Amino acid sequence: MIKAIIIEDEKPAAANLAKKISQADSSVVVEATLSTIEESVQWLSSHSLPELIFLDIHLSDGLSFNIFKEIKITSPVIFTTTYDSYLLEAFELNSIDYLLKPIETSRLYDALEKFRNTKNYYSENIYKLIQKVDNSNHSKYRLIARKGLEHVPLKLDDIALFYTENRLTFLIDRDGKKYIADNNLSALEQDLDKSKFYRANRQYIINIDFIKGYKTAEKVKISVEMAVDTIKSPVMISQDSAADFREWITQV
């Protein structure tokens, strides 16, 4: 099974393309149909990268090339468009083909054959390894946070810390702004780069780039001062974790 997504702002065109894909190759399963740059960035930020993307160039909120500026994408792309003037830009990205609308069935077959040949160039184990590494890097690139009714994509490098309070998970960015995160600390800990983020205690995960300093407290604990004004109190590292913290902060 080949997992794919369609990014197309015209519903009839998206439905027609999905039908043609199914007819051309039943092993290609369309996981999602997205219609805007914003929706695409949000979906790609919260899911594993698909094995193949069908991408219309003109979307209702701009050119789809802007998606690549917002998030790292390593999946092969088959571009679909009414215009042939974006051919150069498309092939500077991850394009394996460029289909002009209305899409001819024979051209779609050829594009899928190119994808299969590219995929089969590598052994199955190497291909899976590449996908695993790419998805891991992708998951560590950014996340979607909430501020009121607004959903905001944030780069993880810009997040100073995560913390839990009243059964909610919050994060503070480099400017001291506070957002709500959808996942709890345990789930976040699994996805974060452990060379940059440290689970200080049951309440905090901290980013090494925003540690202002630390010192011994109460003889056995460690008191960590964060370089964001929003957090007034130091983050405490317990006696049991003190040695682990010192090893982590000196290795990175």
List the domain boundaries for the chain.
2-139, 152-251
Q: In this predicted model, which residue has the larger pLDDT, 223 or 122? A: 223
The yes-or-no verdict on residue 63 having pLDDT over 90 is yes
In percent, how much of the chain has pLDDT > 90? Answer: 62
**In this predicted structure, what is the pLDDT of residue 140?**
52
Give burial (CB, 10 Å; 0-12/13-18/19+) of 105.
exposed
Q: Which of 141, 135, 142, 136 minimizes the C-alpha distance to 49?
A: 135
As beta bridge partners, residue 24 has none
**In this predicted structure, what is the pLDDT of residue 207?**
96
**In this predicted structure, what is the pLDDT of residue 223?**
95
Q: Which of 101, 111, 179 minimizes the C-alpha distance to 142?
A: 179
**In this predicted structure, what is the pLDDT of residue 190?**
87
**In this predicted structure, what is the pLDDT of residue 204?**
97
Q: How many CA atoms lie within 13 A of 40 on its CB side?
A: 31
Which residues lie below 8 Å from residue 237, measured CB to CB, with a gap of 6+? 200, 201, 214, 221, 222, 223, 224, 245
pLDDT confidence tier of residue 125, bands split at 50, 70 and 90: very low
**In this predicted structure, what is the pLDDT of residue 35?**
96
The arithmetic mean of pLDDT across residues 86-105, rounded, is 87
**In this predicted structure, what is the pLDDT of residue 89?**
83
Q: Which of 2.40.50.40, 3.30.910.20, 3.40.720.10, 3.40.228.10 is the CATH number of 152-251?
A: 2.40.50.40
The yes-or-no verdict on residue 57 having pLDDT over 50 is yes
Total-model pTM: 0.50
**Cis peptide bond upstream of 50, omega within 30:** no
What are the start-end ranges of the H helices in 25-86? 37-46, 65-70
Architecture (CATH level 2) of domain 2-139? 3-Layer(aba) Sandwich (3.40)
**In this predicted structure, what is the pLDDT of residue 143?**
87
The arithmetic mean of pLDDT across residues 194-218, rounded, is 93
The arithmetic mean of pLDDT across residues 225-234, rounded, is 89
The yes-or-no verdict on residue 12 having pLDDT over 50 is yes
Mean of all residue pLDDT scores within the chain: 87
**In this predicted structure, what is the pLDDT of residue 252?**
55
